[in-house]
Amino acid sequence: MITDALSAFNDSDVGPSDRRPLAILIRDTDGKVTGGLSGYTAWGWLFTQMLHIPDTLRGTVLAGRILAKAEEEAKARGCRGAWIDPFNPQALHAYMRQGYEVFGELEDFPQGQRAVSFGKASKKTYHAKQ
């Protein structure tokens, strides 16, 4: 009930989201999914909810390739930008290498850490943190 009411309000306020899921999967030689990207496109933006690279493939260019593939699909869907709220502080540099910029931070979340929001747009539609 709450979701339906909020969705109806948002649709009337800013227009329909056209929300569509997006997934880029990593499979092992047996076809088993071992990682990948999960997110969605909505209101002309790609939101990456999760990106997992198996330990054996970290430090390669795979994360960048997966992000690029997701961005390519998002662009084909008419998206003008992408954003992500990564939870892994070790992955921050991977996003920056792909052209993402910090646009927000939440200190002490989780305790002793910080949450960082990254964005990337075809035209700068957000203000990167200085």
The reported pLDDT for the residue numbered 129 is 56
pLDDT per residue, tens digit, the chain (130 aa), is 898 888 889 889 998 899 999 999 999 999 999 999 999 999 999 999 999 999 999 988 999 999 999 999 999 999 999 999 888 877 888 899 999 999 999 999 889 988 899 999 886 555 555 5
Q: Can the peptide bond before residue 86 be classed as cis, meaning omega within 30 degrees of 0?
A: no
The torsion region of residue 99 among left (phi > 0), alpha (psi -120 to 50) and beta comes to left
Residue 2 included in any domain: no
Residue 57: domain span = 18-121
CATH of residue 49:
3.40.630.30
Quote the pLDDT of residue 113.
87
Residue corresponding to tokens 């999914």? 33
For the chain, how many structural domains are there in total?
1
pLDDT of residue 1: 84
Is residue 64, in this structure, part of any structural domain at all? Answer: yes
Does residue 6 lie in a domain region? no
Q: What is the pTM of this model?
A: 0.85
5 located within any domain:
no
In a domain, residue 1? The reply is: no
